[in-house]
Structure 1
Amino acid sequence: MRLLVLEDDSTLGPWIEKGLQEAGHVVDRFVDGKDALVAAMTQPYDVLILDRMVPGLDGLSLLKSLRQAKVQTPALFLTALSDVEDRVEGLSAGGDDYLTKPFAFAELLARVEVIARRQGGGQATGDNESAVLSAGDIAIDLHKRTCKRQGQSIDLNPKEFLLLEVFLRSKGRVQTRTMLLERVWDMSFDPTTSVVETHISRLRGKIEKPFGDQLIRTIRGTGYVFDPA
């Protein structure tokens, strides 16, 4: 799944982001509510995870703006505001769940997955449809963490699976090396690392070589495009 996280705490924010990525999700984390609102209005997300006390625009106001704009992406409040009135206010504003700090990461992950299954990641589809991303003759099941092409199962390690998920979600759009480093490995630009090239080569060996064609095109000097026939 692709998740938006609004959390400005310099310790907690990266910890949540890393944990969600290790669980196989694509995570965009913001520390300012105004930036998060722009992203949530213009990008497709499966679930929003919102702190209520952040700079620029608080999570509650952000969600109210989204709901007024008819954006129905499921949202979970993750906040230290724990009074009954606070929880009621959050749910009344359009929140789908409310988890107070401190919390167990396993519970956060479980709640996010339940919200996504229950509401189809904000799309008007059933649970089975929302769990599957596909393009051409290749598909991945986000819940079962499986990959198939032409009906054949393909064994992918967690990073290969996440890399393919990013490509499926951005079909036809260039993904730069820096973008892939940030989304899959939580790394900023590093000219010395070849981790992207290495994993794309391995992924190609699994999803392209046995089938004798090309799904991932290299755009010299720019990045990669996932473009199945």
Structure 2
Amino acid sequence: MNKRILIVEDEKNIVDILSFNLGREGYDTLEAYDGEAGLQLALEQDPDLILLDLMLPRMNGFDVCRQVRSAGRSTPIIMLTAREEENDKVLGLELGADDYITKPFSMRELLARVKANIRRHGMAESAGTAGVGGNKLELGRIVVDQDLLVAYKDGRSLDLTQREYELLRFLGAQPGKVFSREALMENVWNYEGYVGDVRAVDVAVRRLREKVEDDPAQPQFIVTRRGLGYLFNA
């Protein structure tokens, strides 16, 4: 069965171009031209990925993203925006978007990001059904259960998003090793040979610190090495 992509975009020419190119790659598509219709389709049809424009009639992309995540859905969301403002991109990531791409975009780049996000999501779901019990990372006060896809601090489960869990698991698997933002984009976001904006990494690290650190302003677990990247301090 083909993967289904929900396109939520109010410009019909863009929808047509996206639908055509996604179809050529073997994807089925659903289309919505305003935020309310997009949210309804996202919740009712449970697509494999959502391409979500920010500036939409009836409900903007930020609110659609917020409500999809509030409904407990982990569907990958790539935000489409014509605006370059940093705050827009950061807010989208803070609300739970997995990625963003700025118009005008290369179709090749967009298709690569669609493929990477669907692959990552599928890998996480497969891991979650692989088994129960013994595959754990023991990291002092933090334990990562790689079978149940759950992390604990001091014996209490942490309320992590899928991306936050994957970031913690990846860093925790090699404690003390520094990973650049580009390396994290390749290994956690699954963007091979990534060159470009790495702001998504900083946002994900900040959100993760808010959940795992005693004092996020003075992190003890997810540590920054200035000019180099991040490491897990076991």
The structure 2 residue matched to 1:43, chosen from 45, 60, 65, is: 45
Inter-partner Cα distance in structure 1 for 2:18 and 2:127: 28
Inter-partner Cα distance in structure 2 for 1:126 and 1:16: 31
Q: CA deviation at 1:58?
A: 1.2
1:21 has 2:26 as partner: no
Inter-partner Cα distance in structure 1 for 2:76 and 2:95: 12
Alignment of 1:120-159 (within 5 A): 120=122, 124-126=125-127
Q: Partner amino acid for 1:21?
A: G
Inter-partner Cα distance in structure 1 for 2:79 and 2:40: 18
Inter-partner Cα distance in structure 1 for 2:55 and 2:61: 7
Alignment partner, residue 165 of structure 1: none
Counting matched residue pairs gives 127
After superposition, the C-alpha distances for 1:47-106 in whole angstroms (9 at most, x for unaligned) are: 100000111111111010111111111100011122111110010010000100010001
Q: CA deviation at 1:28?
A: 0.3
Alignment partner, residue 35 of structure 2: 33
Inter-partner Cα distance in structure 1 for 2:33 and 2:90: 24
1:87 has 2:119 as partner: no
After superposition, the C-alpha distances for 1:164-183 in whole angstroms (9 at most, x for unaligned) are: xxxxxxxxxxxxxxxxxxxx
Q: Partner amino acid for 1:69?
A: A
Inter-partner Cα distance in structure 2 for 1:28 and 1:90: 22
Alignment partner, residue 66 of structure 2: 64
Q: Partner amino acid for 1:74?
A: P
Root-mean-square deviation (CA), in Å? 1.8
TM-score (norm 1): 0.53
After superposition, the C-alpha distances for 1:142-200 in whole angstroms (9 at most, x for unaligned) are: xxxxxxxxxxxxxxxxxxxxxxxxxxxxxxxxxxxxxxxxxxxxxxxxxxxxxxxxxxx
TM-score (norm 2): 0.52
Unaligned 5+ residue runs, structure 1? Answer: 130-229
Alignment partner, residue 2 of structure 1: 4
Q: CA deviation at 1:124?
A: 2.4
Inter-partner Cα distance in structure 2 for 1:80 and 1:117: 26
Alignment partner, residue 115 of structure 2: 113
Q: Partner amino acid for 1:119?
A: H
Inter-partner Cα distance in structure 1 for 2:58 and 2:127: 35
Q: Partner amino acid for 1:80?
A: A
Inter-partner Cα distance in structure 2 for 1:58 and 1:29: 16
Q: CA deviation at 1:126?
A: 4.3
Inter-partner Cα distance in structure 2 for 1:35 and 1:12: 17
Alignment partner, residue 80 of structure 2: 78
Inter-partner Cα distance in structure 2 for 1:126 and 1:60: 29
The percent of aligned pairs where both chains have the same amino acid is 35
Q: Partner amino acid for 1:93?
A: L
Inter-partner Cα distance in structure 2 for 1:104 and 1:126: 32
Q: Which has the higher contact order (CA 8 A, sep 6+)?
A: 1
Inter-partner Cα distance in structure 2 for 1:78 and 1:126: 29
Alignment partner, residue 225 of structure 1: none
Alignment of 1:163-182 (within 5 A): none
